[in-house]
Structure 1
Amino acid sequence: MEITSADRPGYREIALSGRVNLNSAGQLAEAVDRAVAEGEPRIVLDLAGVPTMDSTGLGALVTACRAARQAGGDLRIVKARPAVRELLERTNVARVLPLHATAEEAFPDQATNR
């Protein structure tokens, strides 16, 4: 899995590319932990490049969300592909981490500050 990260006004955008599974879930956790440690607990997680995710990936998402919220921020998911969206909805993870179409929609209070 590949991860790219970019600071945006008011949040950090982390984009994943590849499967999120047992072999790669740790990379997701590290990217979120790094953002929080660097003082940016508001995170947009772009899943446009993620074709599939397993239960380890789901656990990593929930853990990442918890870390962001404990630091006073939040984690928002954007651009989930159909298979990943279905998994998140079927497992009720989408209730904890609502799905958004764009980063601007995920943190609408920041869209006007651009």
Structure 2
Amino acid sequence: MKVLLMTLQNAPPGLDYERDKRFSKSFKEMVATCLAKDPKKRPTSEKLLKHRFFKNARSYNYLARTILDGLTPLGERFRLLKTKEADLVQNKALFKFGNHEKSMPVGSPNEHGIKNY
């Protein structure tokens, strides 16, 4: 209830512009419009793509190279993920509650009688 009241009464969240001076004016404007409290005042994706922040963005190729540079190849990431999932299923996931360790089998919550609310 407290969070709901704070959401209604307080200003929307924002970026810490004072601490990090790397943000451009167009980026700050774009983020501010996206964080407007009133959903009707937030831009649509179509309007947002026309914002000067996106208009002045670098090419797709540059962004793809920059984001993917040094990233583990997809096949390797998939293999690692599958290995970790297999380890979790074979062993039991440990959950710590205070000073006691209790194990709970990994699986869907409903398999263990846990209800979704």
TM-score (norm: length of structure 1): 0.21
Mark the structure with the bigger radius of gyration.
Answer: 2
TM-score (norm: length of structure 2): 0.20
Q: Name the structure with the higher strand share.
A: 1
Q: Name the structure with the higher helix share.
A: 2
